[in-house]
Structure 1
């Protein structure tokens, strides 16, 4: 007990002595005692005590104070270290050490682990062999500053597909002699790489910089290593960059990482000339009836082909679209006499169509088998299925009775029947409030007539698709009945000033968009775009034309029409399989998101959308469930892709990807372009089919009920009024237009490819 008390008392005395080793302030000042700390690579701290000798002599020992709470295995050099108390250490030299007045002492203590807190006043006392005080005083130890790597990467031109200079920055956390700095390069970047004040070697995605001569760096020093001439990949995104600085023996002086986002702005598009409208042909009207007047004419349900009449009869037209004064040839394969009836699709009191033209008892033949062939310039197979070898069955004159619109030509022998779709343009030069586009290029990509489509397989799928063949989907209508009729039916039921054209027309007449309409509606599945098509959309937005993309996966794949007839188009499936067919393969600047607001995720099984307080749902109670509305394919906002300034997300939801079973996010987005054009990206296929309560039979979609149809009709009215900036007023009908005929549900070809 006495011993413990003595030790405790001694500790207190020594602690006091540590602060008052000498009585005279002048001597203490002359000693010039200082205590500094440095962090070692193993995480411990080295304290170095320094003092000036005041009396000559031979050193017997040096005692130093340490902060209370200090731990660690403490060592030194040129002497031995022992503990006097918990706060005092004794250092004794291993050999005779004679010092003269004015000499400078420096005693390092290694392996110290300092407590929290500080600053601390620590005493220093050196005793001679003659029991004289050689020097004595106290110094202030500031808390050890802990440095973090603070890695950063500065880019002079952070644009994908362009060249930039990078500066890799990091803070030295441990002092030492710098021999090399290893830096992670941007993903898929290329050189040439240059630097300054050292050499640069590049390997496996890293650049290593070595100084011309070893550099001594202190903890806290800031490194800045330039890597110039970095050619960034055409793909951007958020990338990770690590930096590690080491000595020649591999001791780490600093290491850490950071992230940096490289975003590509929208790609520049070529200008699309606004060609003058051709004169109105003789016998064609200068103006056409209003939508209301047209739909007041008698409608009919005879246009419907019952499922029982599906069969082997097939047909196609030699034009995708036409205008008053044109003649369109029809080619039918049957062998029986048929009736050919043209129906204009619309509302017509819920019957959905009006008969415009017919010819009965038309003789037909069984046409020869379609051909499969074609090669790329370097001899690779195109696998194009074509029925161009069929003979003409009859010619159809498109005259003044053909009010512009979407048409289904019904060919029937009384037992079997099929459709051939046609869009009739208004080429008078009149500007309409709304233009609805038909996704003809996409219909053709999914068309499996003759056993081949783009999606048949990677090896045997078609690299060239032609309109010279019937559609095997939609009873010959392509994807019109499954995805697009609903939008036509709704717009005409509301009496909107609407006109129509196709993908092919966007390619041919895209420069006229501003003259044709104030607002453009893109349909549910408008995936395949040529350069002229994309350029025309981009140019139209810049000119103030509003765009509502009422689908998803739009402008996703890049095609090239083979000639000015636009009867066929090519798609590159050889460079990198399905990857090289996409617009985004050209680089992030060509993704759909920079143009329309969101980008493709995947094909999905149906998800439920829940309404919110957004203006999109004005008139629909908040919290309303729309089962199956997130359907077909979906888009969402990708964080690594360009977002238009001011872009917002109106509503989000999820569905399940077909390919991997994971949750797929869906974002409906809007933005206003500098031109004032408003752009909406719906990011789901379901608007069209919900408007007629008839979604594809192979979708995992609950049959839309009347309440869901009404909710979607209200939503599309809100979209129309917002995107048009109020220039289109949708009549405030409280009841959604009802279809009065029973149309068979269509099976829609889908893709499991990315």
Structure 2
């Protein structure tokens, strides 16, 4: 056994040089000493010393220096090895070895474990039986070259849901007889796999390649194993795939992993025809007053329903939106005479609304209870809650007094009151600077009036929802007062050229978006999108329409309107349970991030946003604290989803997921589409409620103070000017518009589910 070696190689060379080595430079050069190192399959190193014989004779012994710190169990061939010192080994032949001048000696030493460092200058001396020096000199041993697996996986077509050929590459780190290479396949991959120069077996998400016969591979050899015909899952991402090569004895010859991006580009969308507009009805104007002119009219605070006035009264309208010339039916359940008053929502010197129409002492009945039931065409329970059977209470004519805008119809019987929301479109053909969308499909998804909402138990919630029933939230206003009134109040306080429509209108008239507005605002929580809605928004961006999503969790769930009336819509909760309701279930190409810039992560408790620098914070001091602004739900940029070219995070913060308490990043993003359209994703629900300092009462966030309101008003102004490419000039002010009436804070129906 070799004793542990401690002395330095340089010391050995100096100590033994005068005694063991010839000192003539010419002789040393003629000896041509070389020392090479190779790694054995067991991890040890073999040193091979070579030298040219300078004097004929019979070899008695050969002494060889080794690096200080070398360990191991050393053996050789055709002779025995022993220690002279800690840094010198002696080899003696096991038989008589006669050598002639010019012969080349080669002495291998097996089983060494070299220290780190090098290179080392090591002496070599062969002594004859007569004591003569047969050859002598020194050679340089370079450090043993070590290798990392350096795994890489190449894909000819790394697009989810498509077929690709993968090549798994790895460097051999230990020599041996290669018997198998085990390769991890992308998650969810399928296919009819083929390879070359061997066989391929696939099991449990791995492909194992075996050569036709064992292959001897040296350390440093590069493996490249093709796996062809891989059908990728529709879900991609940045996947870490492992590769492991083993020998015939099970020794690992190479092992490692590589991150491989499988990123789906935005999904192709169908073309949404613009379709023609109906002629302007008789008595309706060809153009409407400006926002400033409208808001100069006297406002009123009478639209507000005090919290104490809420009761069992309920009402709904038979249309989600209307235009001048339409008639909308109202259905009320009360049993008492009621006053019905239509209020246009806006600024109106801080009062928030203007009375447009009323009818007093309207008789009502106590309507029958809503029904819940229904089945799909394939027999699935829909659990749709409907009040479609209610009798009509009143018909409301929408005439030229109804300036396009968002309306709350207030119904009161002297004891109880409720709202019924209505959006009035501008269908004159006028193109406005800004269009604000109302998230009516999302209001309905969270509406549990009369029985069941989408969220009334994940397994028992509705598979079909209808607008033929009152809203249970916001005293009948849906999520308008909690999340959306603030945007309306702010835009009209600034006198912006603004118009309005709903999710239902995006589905019906989405092809007209480019001709209706240069910029569209999406509200705080606009989650439920049909194919036509998504296609229309995508088409509008491609056509140059700017989008500011002042919310989060947008276009997250896929719905299908049941008919052209758009009074009901289906959501598939049966194919794969809760998962199948999402757009992303269609594949990563359908995620929100490829469309808007960021993707939903989770619902959060209210967290503080600290302002920084950059255009989005112009006019807001750096370091301003906005307690509770990261609230409701948040989006962030997922690494494994498609990022639009030039995607930029302009602001960020952190929330805490309600479901598990873990930190959730929030990213406000921007990008510019090839059309020139600018797209911003706001990634939090809180913009609208901060603009009126009235966030949902169950958010557990501080009531926004005046400083917070002013800061968010400045941020929204900056967003508006940036996203519109300067086409919308937001008047600056030092005091954000204040609501002069007291409006109750409402709870918001929420879900902790992703």
- What range describes the TM-score normalised by the shorter chain of this pair? over 0.9
Note if contact 2:654-2:663 (Cα within 8 Å) is conserved in structure 1: yes
Alpha-carbon distance in 1 for matches of 2:727, 2:11: 93
CA change 1:68–1:709 in 2 (3 A) is closer
SS in 1 for 2:219: coil
Partner of 1:252: 252
**Map of 1:623-702 to 2, 5 A cutoff?**
623-702=623-702
Give 1:72 shift: 3.5
Alpha-carbon spacing, 1:44–1:277, altered in 2? closer, same or farther (3 Å): same
Which runs of 5 or more residues in structure 2 are unaligned? 1-9
| Residues 1:209 and 2:194 aligned together | no
- Work out which of the residue numbers 20, 23, 26 in structure 1 matches 2:22: 20
Does the 8 Å contact 2:41/2:174 carry over to 1? yes
Question: Which residue of structure 2 lines up, in the alignment, with residue 347 of structure 1?
Answer: 347
CA contact (8 A) 1:405 1:423 kept: yes
2:348 is equivalent to residue 322 of structure 1: no
Match of 2:451 in 1: 451
* Aligned pairs for 1:308-387 within 5 A: 308-387=308-387
CA–CA distance in structure 2, aligned partners of residues 117 and 423 of structure 1? 78
Q: How much does 1:13 deviate?
A: 5.0
Counterpart CA distance in 2 for 1:100 and 1:463 is 96
Task: From the superposition, tell whether residues 385 and 17 of structure 1 become closer, same or farther in structure 2 (CA, over 3 Å).
Answer: farther
Task: Report the CA distance between 1:400 and its aligned residue.
Answer: 1.0
Q: Distance in 2 between matches of 1:212 and 1:544?
A: 59
Structure 1, 279-288 or 99-108: larger mean CA deviation: 99-108
Sort the Cα spacing of 1:501 and 1:453 in 2 relative to 1 into closer, same or farther, 3 A. same
Pair 1:18–1:405, CA change in 2 (3 A): farther
Deviation at 1:370, TM superposition (A): 1.2
Q: Is the 8 A contact 1:19 1:122 kept in 2?
A: no
Deviates more, 1:332-341 or 1:504-513: 332-341
In structure 2, the CA distance between the partners of 1:281 and 1:52, relative to structure 1 (3 Å rule), is same
Question: Taking structure 1 as reference, are residues 16 and 600 closer, same or farther at Cα in structure 2, changes over 3 Å only?
Answer: farther
Q: How many corresponding residue pairs?
A: 745
CA drift at 1:98 = 6.6
Q: How far 1:658 moved relative to its partner?
A: 0.9
Task: Give the whole-Å Cα distance in 1 for the aligned partners of 2:332 and 2:483.
Answer: 25
Where in structure 1 are there 5+ consecutive unaligned residues? 1-7
Mapping for residues 58-137 of structure 1, pairs under 5 Å: 59-94=59-94, 105-127=105-127
Match of 2:4 in 1: none
Partner Cα separation in structure 2 for residue 243 and residue 537 of structure 1: 43
Could you say what secondary structure the match of 2:698 adopts? coil
Aligned 1:340-739 pairs, distance under 5 A: 340-739=340-739
Specify whether residues 591 and 84 from structure 1 end up closer, same or farther in structure 2 by C-alpha distance, changes over 3 A only. same
| Structure 1 position 118, deviation (Å) | 4.0
Distance 1:356 1:11 in 2: 106
C-alpha distance in 1 between matches for 2:654 and 2:182: 42
Mean CA deviation greater in 272-281 or 439-448: 272-281
Does structure 2 conserve the Cα–Cα contact (< 8 Å) formed by 1:528 and 1:559?
yes
Alignment check: 8 A CA contact 2:21 2:136 kept: no
Measure how far apart 1:269 and its partner are: 1.1
> Is the CA contact 1:18–1:65 (under 8 Å) kept in the aligned structure 2?
no
Deviation at 1:42, TM superposition (A): 4.6
Contact 2:598 2:636 in 1 (8 A): yes
TM-superposition CA deviations, 1:580-604 (whole Å, max 9, x none) = 1111111111111111111111111
Q: Deviations over 1:150-175 (max 9, x none)?
A: 11111111222222211111111222
Distance (whole Å) between structure 2 residues aligned to residue 567 and residue 47 of structure 1 = 84
| Cα distance in 2, alignment partners of residues 20 and 464 from structure 1 | 98
Report what 1:175 is aligned to.
Answer: 175
Tell me: CA distance 1:304–1:9, structure 2 relative to 1, closer, same or farther (3 Å): closer
Confirm or deny: 8 A CA contact 2:694 2:704 kept in the other structure.
Answer: yes
Q: CA deviation at 1:378?
A: 2.2
Calculate the TM-score normalised by the size of structure 2: 0.94
What are the Cα deviations for residues 328-378 of structure 1, in whole angstroms up to 9, with x where unaligned? 111111111111111111111111111111111111111112111121232
TM-score after normalising by structure 1? 0.94
SS for the counterpart of 1:219 is coil
Residues 12 and 87, structure 2, Cα contact 8 Å, conserved in 1: no
Contact 1:11 1:85 in 2 (8 A): no
Q: 2:740 maps to what in 1?
A: 740
Q: Secondary structure at the match of 1:601?
A: strand
Contact 1:374 1:384 in 2 (8 A): yes
The structural deviation recorded for 1:238 is 2.0
- The 10-residue stretch of structure 1 (350-359 or 544-553) with the greater mean CA deviation from structure 2: 350-359
Q: Residue 20 and residue 267 in structure 1: after superposition, are their counterparts in 2 closer, same or farther (change >3 A)?
A: farther
Do structure 1's residue 229 and structure 2's residue 229 form an aligned pair?
A: yes
**DSSP 3-state at the match of 2:70:** coil
User: Quick one: structure 1 residues 246 and 403, their matched pair in 2 at CA, closer, same or farther if it must change by over 3 Å?
Assistant: same
- How far apart are the structure 2 equivalents of 1:415 and 1:669? 47
Residue 60 of structure 1: how far off its partner (Å): 3.8
Q: Who is 2:36 aligned against?
A: 36
For the residues of structure 1 that align with 2:237 and 2:353, how far apart are their CA atoms?
49
1:121/1:739 CA distance change after superposition, 3 Å: closer
Cα distance per residue 1:252-292 (max 9 Å; x no partner)? 22222222222221111111111122111111111111111
**What is the Cα deviation at residue 58 of structure 1?**
6.0
SS in 1 for 2:149: coil
Q: Following the alignment from structure 1 to structure 2, what is the Cα–Cα distance between the partners of residues 85 and 20?
A: 20
Q: Aligned runs of 1:143-154 on 2, under 5 Å?
A: 143-154=143-154
Q: What CA RMSD, in Å, does the superposition of the two structures yield over aligned residues?
A: 2.2
Q: Which residue of 1 aligns with 2:3?
A: none
- What secondary structure sits across from 1:621 in the alignment? coil
**Residue equivalent to 1:5:** none
**Residues 376-414 of structure 1 deviation map (CA, whole Å, 9 limit, x = unaligned):** 232121100011111111211111111111111111111
Output the CA distance in 2 between the equivalents of 1:11 and 1:529: 81
Deviations 1:291-335 (CA, angstroms, capped at 9, x unpaired): 111111221111111111111111111110011111111111111
Q: Is the 8 A contact 2:333 2:366 kept in 1?
A: yes
Q: Does 1:287 align with 2:277?
A: no
Change (3 A) 1:489 1:77: same
Q: Which moved further from structure 2: 103-112 or 162-171?
A: 103-112
Deviation (angstroms), 1:15: 4.0
C-alpha contact (below 8 Å) 1:717/1:730 kept by paired residues: yes
The CA deviation at 1:469 is 0.6
1:17–1:39 CA distance, 2 compared to 1 (3 A):
farther
Q: CA deviation at 1:709?
A: 1.3
- SS of 2:329's partner is strand
Residue in 1 that maps onto 2:273: 273
Shift in alpha-carbon separation, 1:100–1:176, aligned structure 2, 3 A: farther
**In structure 2, C-alpha distance between the alignment counterparts of 1:19 and 1:292, rounded to whole Å:** 104
Q: Give the CA deviation at 1:132.
A: 6.3
Query: How far apart in 2 are the matches of 1:230 and 1:93?
Result: 59
Aligned CA distance change for structure 1 residues 572 and 735 (closer, same or farther; 3 Å): same
Q: Is the 8 A contact 1:15 1:65 kept in 2?
A: no
Distance change >3 Å, CA 683–CA 56, structure 1 → 2: same
